[in-house]
Amino acid sequence: MRRRDFLKYTALGSLSTTLANCQSSGRWQPAAFRKKSSSRVAVLTAKGYDQPLKDVLLRGIKLCGLQVKGKRIVVKPNLVEFDPKGVINTNPTLIEAAIDAFRTLGAAEVIVAEGPGHRRDNEYLLSASGLYAVLREHKVRYVDLNSDDVRATPVRSSFTNFKQLYLPETLFNADLLVSMPKLKTHHWAGVTLSMKNLFGIIPGTVYGWPKNILHWQGIDNSILDINSSLPLPQFAIVDGIVGMEGNGPLQGQAKNAGVLLFGDDFVSVDASAARLMKLEPRKVVHLAKADAFLGNLASERIEQIGEKLESLQQDFDIIEDLKDLKTLTG
């Protein structure tokens, strides 16, 4: 009997449903979160990394109405690990284009920052991934969020037992956090996109590696509490030019999707990205829960601009245990 079947038919299944229902209420202070009536997500095509990506990024940023003039921006790519045969990381060419675009738009400073969750040898990760050459050429400061100074900040929702989180000081000294994840499936969380990418802002020197304490608290719960507690405004640019399907986030296969997604509501951006992969966002636990207080998941509450999402949808494979996510409900 499969676990999911077992849970359907047993008391444990009922218990988990009851617990899940209990979790839906009282986990956040309603007054602290005001969802917008609708959120804008821009979907733009970019066939390859050799295209003029800066132009696409400028268009996406403009379509979303993001203002960056005079702001200090922290760009947070996904650099969790490196595999020369894989497509784990946000492509450095896209990061380079983002740096260029933000500077063109008048950003006061662009910083690239990451706190890798597995391999935290920065010199290796940056060199092997090709990002070091980009940072050097453009004279961009890199901050290792794993070992940055930290500041305690209260957790504004209570899906985990954390009452406070130590977050990197760099975030408190910036005006905007730009999450730049890779479009990937994830063998536990279903998808890893702009919300899950923020595991990388959790400092490893405080919480250890492989950020395991977040797993003990529940991956979805941790994603929710981290995202609810960010001390600065945020924006997402999802690298879906080449994504990853199957056994993500590390060992899946490359999937050409030729797309970039933009938006300031991470729930909307990630829900759109899930739909793009033909995965049902309502079945991704952290997205379904985030819909209640952090952002908009429902299609009718997302103003899709740029290309039509339906015309760009790709059938991303996912591990057997998560095949249920492939059943789209709308």
Partner 1 sequence: MALQALAGGTSADKRRRGIEWLVRRQNPDHSWPLNQTVTAGSWTTALAITALGASAEHSERLHAAARWLLEQEGSKPGILAEIILWATGQSGVNKLSKDLIGWSWVPSSFSWVEPTSYALIALKKQRLHLTGTNVDERIREADAMIYDRMCTGGGWNYGNSKVLDYALWPYPDITALALIAMQDHASEKANQDSLQVLSKTARETDSGLALCWAATCFNLYGRDPSDFHKQIEKRFAASEFLGETKTLALAVIALGGKSNPFRF
Pattern 279-308, binding to partner 1, x per CB under 8 A?
------------------------------
Query: Any contact of residue 321 with partner 1 (CB under 8 A)?
Result: yes
Least gap, CB of 3 to partner 1 (angstroms): 6
Query: Any contact of residue 95 with partner 1 (CB under 8 A)?
Result: no
List all residues 6 or more positions away from 165 whose beta carbon is below 8 Å from its beta carbon.
152, 153, 155, 202, 225, 226, 229
- Of 191-220, binders to partner 1 (CB under 8 A) are 204-210, 212-213, 216
Residue showing tokens 């130590």: 166
> In this structure, what is the dihedral angle of CA atoms 230, 20, 265, 49, given to the nearest 10 degrees?
100
Residue 311: both structure tokens together: 């015309």
User: Is 108 or 206 the residue whose CB approaches partner 1 more closely?
Assistant: 206
Which secondary-structure segment (H or E) carries 127?
Answer: helix 122-129
Torsion 78-79-83-85 (CA) sign? positive
CA-based nearest residue to 322, from 138, 204, 187: 187
Binding partner 1 (rule: CB under 8 A), the pick from 22, 124, 256, 327 is 124
131 contacts 97 by C-beta, under 8 angstroms: no
Q: How far apart are CA 48 and CA 149, in angstroms?
A: 37
Least gap, CB of 263 to partner 1 (angstroms): 29
Binding partner 1 (rule: CB under 8 A), the pick from 54, 103, 187, 326 is 187
Q: Which segment (116-124, 263-271, 292-300, 304-312) binds partner 1 by CB under 8 A?
A: 116-124
Query: Any contact of residue 132 with partner 1 (CB under 8 A)?
Result: yes
- Residues lying near partner 1 in the complex (CB under 8 A): 3, 7, 12, 16, 83, 118-119, 121-124, 126-128, 132, 142, 144, 147, 149-152, 166, 187-188, 204-210, 212-213, 216, 247, 251, 319, 321
